């Protein structure tokens, strides 16, 4: 595995130049061709003239190079820097005045031999699983969606008969005790939450015990993944920048998950269908704006296999930030400026309006609307918290504990009076703030039906009263 990781790691570092028309695909194509030579037991080293005449047409067809034969010069020389390609006696070749590479006529005259380094060639020719992994990696990263004739033109159809994802490692479902164990096998950073493995493919980690509040969106398998940055407003840098780039270019990533007391699992491939922003609590206990990346699980990183609903969501996504932090501002951030009473009522009105707007969307069944409703549901909750004035709203409460949480919040649970399943509406007049005792009585007590009926009247009355505050 260590040998394989070394090779895959060097392939993972192949990062061709960005051009206005996209990535330059010259080096990935030459590398694919070279791997095919090893797979078929063809000579490791081949003369420039042969490489030029076989790879040239590939560059024209699949890398958009108008002068394919001449274009071979660039990867023929540059791939050496990735230590994945060797040009025999390259030190003896005269280079251009900038000292960058030999000219075409020098290569035509000298006709040097070139090919994969010997240990890589030997490894790939003996280990077809490794060869398929290497080919799969290059296809996912550079030829995605895959051009129809590509595998046939490279003579790699037999090697890649199955789904591309089945050739990549790790496989879905692989389990590891801790992050270090993943890195020992597949490389990559051991701490960061958003970071590639050695193979160059981005991976995101979600730890149920960790500081971030990542969640499956109720009723669907999509994931609300909190961005990078532990405290303070998150910025579009580091991991978040990598996520934005993946969103823009529709590149899949790996989603690893660690359930509470469980092990790390490569749970699924996923693609980012939306970027949102909301308020959340940082590790310092303070409210801050954080990114939420909406991940849609897919069975393969190859985009032509993605289900229609995911493609539709991607088509609907304008790549812009959807900001849930404007309507739904936590009370502790939105400190009242003028008279306490007036601004509390105004804030309650605004939160109620946001909750109603979101609730009105219920007729839409689009997945993105479901996502929005879920992420905006804090509006109703914040409103009820405001209305409660930090006290249990049950008039027959036997005593609300005065202790507060570490973050200074009261011990209150905001819930639907009748339970979400029956009413469904995330609006303040149907919700109530209860202390843990009363919450238990409401959900599990023998008299819960009577209590719920009474609390519904309480919620509506308090709601109306709050709106009519002077």
Residues that bind Zn ion in the complex, under the rule CB under 5 A: 392, 394, 397, 435, 438
> In whole angstroms, what is the distance from residue 7 CA to residue 13 CA?
10
Q: Which is nearer to Zn ion, 138 or 459 (CB)?
A: 459
Is 227 in contact with 291 (CB distance < 8 Å)? yes
Q: State the minimum distance, in angstroms, from the CB of residue 235 to Zn ion.
A: 41
HSE-up (13 A, CA, CB side) for residue 198? 21
> In whole angstroms, what is the distance from residue 193 CA to residue 208 CA?
13
> In whole angstroms, what is the distance from residue 54 CA to residue 235 CA?
47
Q: State the minimum distance, in angstroms, from the CB of residue 413 to Zn ion.
A: 10
- For residue 145, whether the previous peptide bond is cis, meaning omega lies within 30 degrees of 0, is yes
Q: Which is nearer to Zn ion, 161 or 398 (CB)?
A: 398
Q: Which is nearer to Zn ion, 206 or 394 (CB)?
A: 394
Q: Which is nearer to Zn ion, 304 or 403 (CB)?
A: 403
Q: State the minimum distance, in angstroms, from the CB of residue 273 to Zn ion.
A: 41
Q: Which is nearer to Zn ion, 41 or 399 (CB)?
A: 399
Q: State the minimum distance, in angstroms, from the CB of residue 395 to Zn ion.
A: 9
Sign of the torsion formed by the C-alpha atoms of 233, 277, 269 and 29: negative
Burial class (CB in 10 A: 0-12, 13-18, 19+), 454: middle
Q: State the minimum distance, in angstroms, from the CB of residue 389 to Zn ion.
A: 13
Q: State the minimum distance, in angstroms, from the CB of residue 203 to Zn ion.
A: 45
Task: Report the 3 state secondary structure along 167-211.
Answer: HCCCCCCCEECCHHHHHHHHCCCCCCCEEECCCCCEEEEEECCCC
Angle between helix 308-316 and helix 367-376 axes, rounded to 10 deg? 60
Is 67 in contact with 59 (CB distance < 8 Å)? no
Q: Which is nearer to Zn ion, 242 or 441 (CB)?
A: 441
Q: Which is nearer to Zn ion, 233 or 413 (CB)?
A: 413
Q: State the minimum distance, in angstroms, from the CB of residue 461 to Zn ion.
A: 17
Q: Which is nearer to Zn ion, 394 or 418 (CB)?
A: 394
Q: State the minimum distance, in angstroms, from the CB of residue 415 to Zn ion.
A: 12
Q: Which is nearer to Zn ion, 182 or 386 (CB)?
A: 386
> In whole angstroms, what is the distance from residue 110 CA to residue 423 CA?
81
Q: State the minimum distance, in angstroms, from the CB of residue 462 to Zn ion.
A: 14
State how far the alpha carbon of 436 is from the alpha carbons of 116, 398, 400, 405, 430, in Å: 67, 11, 8, 13, 18
């Amino acid at each position: 595995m260590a040998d394989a990781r070394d090779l895959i790691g060097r392939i993972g570092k192949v990062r061709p130049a960005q051009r206005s028309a996209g990535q330059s695909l010259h080096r990935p194509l030459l590398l694919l061709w070279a791997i095919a030579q090893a797979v078929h037991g063809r000579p490791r080293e081949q003369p420039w003239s042969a490489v030029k005449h076989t790879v040239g047409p590939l560059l024209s067809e699949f890398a958009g190079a108008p002068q394919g034969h001449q274009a071979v010069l660039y990867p023929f020389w540059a791939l050496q820097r990735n230590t994945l390609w060797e040009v025999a006696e390259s030190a003896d070749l005269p280079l251009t005045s900038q000292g960058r590479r030999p000219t075409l006529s020098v290569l035509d005259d000298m006709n040097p031999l070139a090919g994969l380094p010997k240990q890589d060639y030997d490894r790939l020719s003996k280990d077809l699983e490794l060869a398929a992994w290497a080919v799969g990696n290059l296809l996912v990263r550079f030829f995605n969606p895959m051009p129809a004739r590509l595998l046939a033109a490279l003579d790699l159809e037999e090697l890649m008969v199955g789904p591309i994802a089945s050739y990549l490692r790790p496989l879905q479902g692989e389990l590891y005790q801790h992050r270090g164990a993943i890195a020992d096998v597949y490389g990559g950073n051991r701490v960061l939450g958003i970071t590639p493995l050695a193979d160059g493919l981005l991976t995101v980690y979600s730890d149920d015990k960790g500081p971030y509040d990542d969640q499956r969106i109720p009723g669907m398998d999509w994931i609300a993944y909190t961005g990078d940055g532990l405290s303070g407003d998150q910025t579009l840098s580091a991991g978040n920048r990598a996520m934005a780039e993946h969103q823009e270019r529709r590149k899949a990533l790996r989603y690893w998950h660690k359930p509470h007391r469980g092990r790390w699992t490569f749970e699924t491939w996923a693609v980012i269908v939306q970027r949102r922003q909301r308020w959340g609590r940082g590790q310092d206990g303070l409210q801050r704006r954080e990114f939420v990346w909406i991940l849609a699980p897919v069975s393969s990183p190859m985009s032509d296999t993605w289900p229609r609903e995911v493609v539709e969501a991607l088509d609907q996504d304008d790549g812009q930030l959807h900001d849930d932090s404007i309507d739904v501002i936590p009370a502790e951030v939105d400190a009242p400026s003028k008279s306490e009473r007036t601004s509390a009522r105004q804030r309650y009105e605004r939160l109620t309006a946001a909750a109603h707007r979101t609730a009105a969307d219920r007729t839409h069944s689009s997945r993105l609307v479901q996502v929005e409703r879920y992420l905006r549901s804090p509006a109703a909750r914040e409103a009820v918290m405001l209305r409660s004035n930090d006290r249990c709203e049950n008039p027959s409460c036997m005593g609300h504990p005065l202790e507060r949480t570490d973050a200074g919040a009261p011990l209150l649970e905001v819930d639907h009076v009748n339970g979400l399943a029956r009413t469904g509406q995330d609006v303040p007049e149907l919700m109530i703030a209860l202390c843990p005792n009363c919450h238990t009585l409401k959900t599990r007590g023998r008299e819960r039906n009577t209590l719920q009926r009474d609390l519904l009247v309480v919620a509506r009355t308090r709601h109306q009263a709050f709106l009519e505050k002077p």
